[in-house]
Amino acid sequence: MYPQQVVAEASFPRVLLPSCSGGRPVEVILIAQLDPGAGDGLIAQAGLRQQQHPAHHAALDEPSAQLSAPDFQLGDPASLFSFSVGPQGHPFHCHAGNRVFTAVTGSGGAQLRFSTASAQQIAQDPQAFLHALRHVDLPGDSLFTVRFGGGTWHQFAPARGSASHSALFALSCHPDEAAGALDSAQQALVSSGQATIASLTELLPEAVTALLESDQFRASEVPTTALSFNVRPQSWQQRACARARRWAGRLRQALALTQRGGFVATSAPAPRVRALPTVADDALLQAHFSAPMHYQDSHQVQLDTRQLRSDRLPELMCDLLQAFIDQPPSGVSGLMRLRNLMVRPLGLRTSPLGCPVSSLLDPHAAQRFAGRFPVLAHRSDADGRQVQVLLGADDKHVRFRSAISVRRTGEHTLAVTMATQVHCRNLFGHLYMAAIHRTHRHYIMPAMLGSAARQVLETAQHAQASWRPQPA
């Protein structure tokens, strides 16, 4: 063992390991100390969320996920990954490009191992790897940063005697994903935004691996720097604190019995809904509802295609119909519950959705729009500028039909229209419509159309912020 030299640090404790091959030095900076046991809990929670990420990739004992891909079209070659290192550690490896990451250690602490020997130096003499090998010990439950150049060999593992604890969880920034000596396959993955940490990894040559496993290598003889807060490394206070944090980590994990999901809340301005004086002549209502009409209304909302997930009319229609089902206005839902309670003794049709779209829940419909949504009829204009669906149902007292259309009105504008016509089949039907028509015209219809349009806009916002690779 080398004699220990302790240097007090009023700011962030750090170590700078010079490169023996002329590259940039390795920097390790200790940032903050978390509560006892917090490291294990944070790593466990973040690790579970990482597993659920669509870009999760488990390889080389280093589970990871690409959180943000580079966008070369906008001149941004950087990418962001999460990765974790469990109780078993991971193998020595290097990357072609530079790396910068921020991480949290497990409650048992972590050891970072670096060798700045170049590939040429190792090829000439595998011992060069050992000559350049340095260790950095970090305390448990600590926040730290690491920065090193491309070609730096590194390995992360739990601190000695803490094999039951994960080493760390990190957020790693690759400043230039395309930098360094990448082969053609790696370049293709990077350009498409599909690169993983494993695909950009080079493992140790077999000669060095054999050397590390031989009697020639003694980990205790590797020059080691220990960083810590508040107490001197390897002091009895530091050992006592480390033991307490290890037990606190185990206890907190034992008590963490449930895993809760996360949420993303988005909001968008409520689209303005306006009433139309008549039903359009080309509406499906005009062709498919021949009964005498006793009541009608029509409402419309304008949408900007630049704010939508897609400007393809069939896809937008699907989004609208799904929004009618998933996000009915709470006020309309309340009125429907009251209406259902009142008419159920009369044997009338009931539904949790407002009548204009209630037939979307009909399991016996003969036709389905896009193979999913029950409809009475649907039509797409030959010029591709309008898509329509017809909904409706027949009851003892009324027959109603509702047409929903999506029409392209400009380069970036769409008009979404919902029109309803009602035929009263008996005196009760006339009395029923006389009682509800003002509420239907001035509240139910605009509320349902506005809510669906707002949901489409919010879904588009969420999709823009969701996890997806950026194409080259």
53 and 147 share a domain? yes
300 and 444 share a domain? yes
d(CA 145, CA 104) in angstroms, rounded, equals 9
d(CA 381, CA 115) in angstroms, rounded, equals 67
The 10s digit of each residue's pLDDT in 380-408 is: 888 889 999 999 888 889 999 999 999 99
Looking at the domain assignment, is residue 291 inside a domain?
yes
244 and 374 share a domain? no
Q: What angle do CA 270, 274, 276 make, to 5 degrees?
A: 155
How much is the CA Rg of the chain, to the nearest whole Å? 32
**CATH code assigned at 416:** 3.30.530
Residue 446 contacts by C-beta under 8 Å, 6 or more apart in sequence?
A: 273, 275, 299
Distance of CA 61 to the CA centre of its chain: 23
129 and 231 share a domain? yes
Please give the model's pTM, rounded to 2 decimal places: 0.63
330 sits in which H/E element? helix 330-343
Residue bearing tokens 């091959």: 21
Mean pLDDT value of segment 52-72: 88
For residue 419, give its domain range: 273-465
- Checking if the pLDDT of 470 tops 70, the result is no
The 10s digit of each residue's pLDDT in 311-328 is: 789 988 999 999 899 888
- Checking if the pLDDT of 34 tops 70, the result is yes
22 and 103 share a domain? yes
d(CA 310, CA 3) in angstroms, rounded, equals 66
Question: Phi-psi bin for 384: left (phi > 0), alpha (psi -120 to 50), beta?
Answer: left
Domain C-terminal end among 197, 229, 255: 255
Residue bearing tokens 């730096």: 152
Mean pLDDT value of segment 438-447: 92
What residues does 170 pair with on adjacent strands?
A: 83, 103
Are the C-beta atoms of residues 405 and 387 closer than 8 Å to each other?
Answer: yes
* pLDDT value of position 8: 66
d(CA 76, CA 195) in angstroms, rounded, equals 15
Are the C-beta atoms of residues 182 and 96 closer than 8 Å to each other?
Answer: yes
277 and 343 share a domain? yes
383 and 293 share a domain? yes
Size of the chain, expressed as the number of residues it contains? 472
Angle, helices 236-255 vs 38-52, to 10°: value is 40
Which DSSP letter does residue 87 get? T
**CATH code assigned at 179:** 2.60.120.10
- pLDDT band (50, 70, 90) for residue 162: low
Domain C-terminal end among 188, 220, 255: 255
Relative to beta strand 224-226, strand 133-138 is parallel
The 10s digit of each residue's pLDDT in 362-386 is: 888 888 998 889 999 999 888 889 9
Looking at the domain assignment, is residue 370 inside a domain?
yes
Domain C-terminal end among 200, 221, 255: 255
The neighbour count for residue 380, using CB atoms within 10 Å, is: 15
* pLDDT value of position 283: 83
327 and 200 share a domain? no
204 and 278 share a domain? no
* pLDDT value of position 356: 83
318 and 439 share a domain? yes
The 10s digit of each residue's pLDDT in 74-110 is: 888 888 999 999 988 888 999 988 999 999 999 889 9
Mean pLDDT taken over the chain: 85
Per the structure, the count of domains in the chain is 2
The 10s digit of each residue's pLDDT in 165-195 is: 889 999 999 888 877 778 888 888 888 777 8
317 and 448 share a domain? yes
The 10s digit of each residue's pLDDT in 235-267 is: 777 677 777 676 666 777 666 655 666 666 656
DSSP code string of 227-252: --SSS-TTSHHHHHHHHHHHHHHHHH
Residue 337 contacts by C-beta under 8 Å, 6 or more apart in sequence?
A: 352
87 and 154 share a domain? yes
d(CA 70, CA 414) in angstroms, rounded, equals 32
The SS3 of residue 461 is: helix
- pLDDT band (50, 70, 90) for residue 471: very low
* pLDDT value of position 127: 92
